Structure 1
């Protein structure tokens, strides 16, 4: 694995003859070549062996030390073959289906004008039980980005860094979000989109590249040439689309989560029920994460605080609620909240897809037999594994 050390050893081999390959002339017959012809041995009178290679030795082909030590590849087991076949079939499926295919027969889309006050946009999200919405630039008749809970977190960060500007927040419009992002050094508003008639595989790759959890579908009107926001698809909807339409392929994914190394298990951010919401928000921003597991003093999992839990806390512009505890914020969740889903490191990927097929899952929390926190598996982790595992290309390719 360490190429530098392998190269160093190979150069050392070229510098002197291996002891095991040194031979003396005995007069009883011609010298026999060594088993592995790394360098040539030149016959000299007894006691005058060449300690170094001769110039002609450099002209002879010589296998590298790393190649000589390379072990034969272990044949793939039936389990490995099924796993590879299942992943390839799912990728082929994503390449022939479009993003439009993922949409339900009937759906509602709420698009917010860029001139809308941030405070009013928050109320619209809450009233319609949604956590994101496409933005529209009515002045230029074009798609202007996607409003998510992260943008409200940026507003909170702005409030914390510039408390004297608090009175101006009431007048901030959605078009002001870019100015807020620049002021606090946050990532710009998500503007990535995809044409609904492009392969679904392309939408998945763009989501992974930009680390977006949802992507708007934007088409162009043939007559006017103007953009049209068709809908927004999420990672959950894509994975459910796979689970529902590819059960014959997902059942082949029988390797455990531990075997495939799915999820995050080190340096996990956690919170307690009595921690303030503001502290948790700060933790999410610094570690660039969308959720924080809530545990007790013994690391037993109690709940999960998500980025979308911020929205009810600042309803109506009441930023003072950020000083409330995590436990109080979790009590503000709607009654139809999906709750948390747990799994063990020994659960298989096919069972995860079965859960996604039956339930509204946003992430899975890995726990041990005593319900202690072990790790976190995001939908991005699952999507990345399905699309990229075993592929030679990388995530930055289109």
Structure 2
């Protein structure tokens, strides 16, 4: 795996050529399907034997937002505490009211961006908007209301993972019952990253047996064919992956986030080489700066406002192993990997660094647990290359 620093991390830093340092996958000469499947079954048994409580860090903070808060104050709270989501609580009825996520902010931007241009809505109206009205925005936009997910902390990690996958959620609120008050109480939030890191820390022996490569295991979303040299107007040569360029307006990418329910869009050049990622969390910075009034700025301009401590774009090859990926999750915070062509593809006439696919934590969790989204077939491990 490699971590490629973004060329647009800070407007004050001179742009340097991109460097890609890769760690080997340590694939054996003849990966064993039998040992791979045995390791998967052992990991799943481990998850069934552990509860959500077991995955809690030794020390953590829980940020809970009252639905009466304005969006402006809620965002200030998130930024101050370094988080991008938080449970919502209806204090009038003393009940859990769902989660505030970056996607809610995306929907809010879409709604007010158009409303400011068509009706008499001001910046003050946006900043005074209350969290309790977020569901009204979803109805106006015609997007699905997220399910009111929750699970008990004593539930098995396997059941928690299954619920995350079946509902396409990235985080799961954990609620218990307070016998003194007779009300539910929010205990914590289990994220996909926390769950996968727990596996990576506790299943070293099993992970060492996961040698089959990512493409053969069908983990992630891959470009369906080689990009056309001259795609017709309106075609996306990297279908089904949504992409953008440095000159793409930010609002076009915001629309991609909402339309496809995704959290990042690769920024590529004319040859399909990955230059950067634009993420939903980047939009929070723009909202904080009041830039929802001028989202016609380009991605290149928006990236100049990104924090200089952005960790960079994490890349991998389709020939890397699942075990290597899980070892990376163990070592550092990872939310997604961009699959690019490497030296091996370049020798076959490809373009080094060109976009091949994207692997999200949902993809990894879905495969490792064997859980499936509603209506999807169960993913099966594929035979290794001869």
Q: TM-score range by the shorter chain?
A: 0.7 to 0.9
1:312 and 2:280 aligned: no
For residues 302 and 78 of structure 1, what CA distance do their matches in structure 2 show?
33
Compare relative contact order (CA 8 Å, sep 6+) and give the higher one, 1 or 2: 2
Query: Which is further off, 235-244 or 331-340?
Result: 331-340
Secondary structure in 1 aligned to 2:222?
A: coil
Deviation at 1:165, TM superposition (A): 5.4
For residues 80 and 267 of structure 2, what CA distance do their matches in structure 1 show?
27
Number of the residue aligned with 2:347: none
1:334 and 2:291 aligned: no
Q: 1:94-173 alignment to 2 at 5 Å?
A: 94-163=47-116, 164=119, 166-167=121-122, 168-173=125-130
Q: 1:1-398 alignment to 2 at 5 Å?
A: 79-163=32-116, 164=119, 166-167=121-122, 168-266=125-223, 267=239, 268-315=241-288, 317-369=290-342, 370-388=352-370
Q: Is the 8 A contact 1:117 1:173 kept in 2?
A: yes
Q: Against the structure 1 CA distance between its residues 351 and 396, is the aligned structure 2 distance closer, same or farther, given a 3 Å change threshold?
A: closer
Number of the residue aligned with 1:39: none
Secondary structure in 1 aligned to 2:324?
A: helix
Q: Is the 8 A contact 1:254 1:349 kept in 2?
A: yes
Q: Is the 8 A contact 2:340 2:355 kept in 1?
A: yes
For residues 78 and 156 of structure 1, what CA distance do their matches in structure 2 show?
48
Query: Which is further off, 171-180 or 325-334?
Result: 325-334
Q: Is the 8 A contact 1:291 1:307 kept in 2?
A: yes
For residues 377 and 161 of structure 2, what CA distance do their matches in structure 1 show?
12
For residues 395 and 202 of structure 1, what CA distance do their matches in structure 2 show?
18
Secondary structure in 2 aligned to 1:207?
A: helix
Deviation at 1:221, TM superposition (A): 0.7
Number of the residue aligned with 2:348: none
For residues 281 and 394 of structure 1, what CA distance do their matches in structure 2 show?
28
Q: Against the structure 1 CA distance between its residues 108 and 299, is the aligned structure 2 distance closer, same or farther, given a 3 Å change threshold?
A: same
Q: Is the 8 A contact 2:247 2:299 kept in 1?
A: yes
Deviation by residue 1:319-372 (Cα, 9 ceiling, x = unmatched)? 124222212322333344332211101101110011111111000100002111
For residues 113 and 171 of structure 1, what CA distance do their matches in structure 2 show?
14
For residues 265 and 308 of structure 2, what CA distance do their matches in structure 1 show?
21
Secondary structure in 1 aligned to 2:173?
A: strand
Secondary structure in 1 aligned to 2:267?
A: strand
Q: Is the 8 A contact 1:177 1:189 kept in 2?
A: no
Q: Against the structure 1 CA distance between its residues 104 and 165, is the aligned structure 2 distance closer, same or farther, given a 3 Å change threshold?
A: farther
Deviation at 1:312, TM superposition (A): 0.3
For residues 103 and 263 of structure 2, what CA distance do their matches in structure 1 show?
8
Q: Against the structure 1 CA distance between its residues 141 and 373, is the aligned structure 2 distance closer, same or farther, given a 3 Å change threshold?
A: same
Q: Against the structure 1 CA distance between its residues 133 and 165, is the aligned structure 2 distance closer, same or farther, given a 3 Å change threshold?
A: farther
Q: Is the 8 A contact 2:268 2:276 kept in 1?
A: yes
Q: Is the 8 A contact 1:209 1:396 kept in 2?
A: no
Q: Against the structure 1 CA distance between its residues 191 and 330, is the aligned structure 2 distance closer, same or farther, given a 3 Å change threshold?
A: farther
Deviation at 1:316, TM superposition (A): 5.0
The number of residue pairs the alignment matches comes to: 319
CA RMSD for the aligned pairs? 2.0
- 5+ residue gaps, structure 1: 1-76
Q: Against the structure 1 CA distance between its residues 78 and 287, is the aligned structure 2 distance closer, same or farther, given a 3 Å change threshold?
A: closer
Q: Which has the higher helix share?
A: 1
Deviation at 1:170, TM superposition (A): 3.0
- 5+ residue gaps, structure 2: 1-29, 224-238, 343-351, 379-386
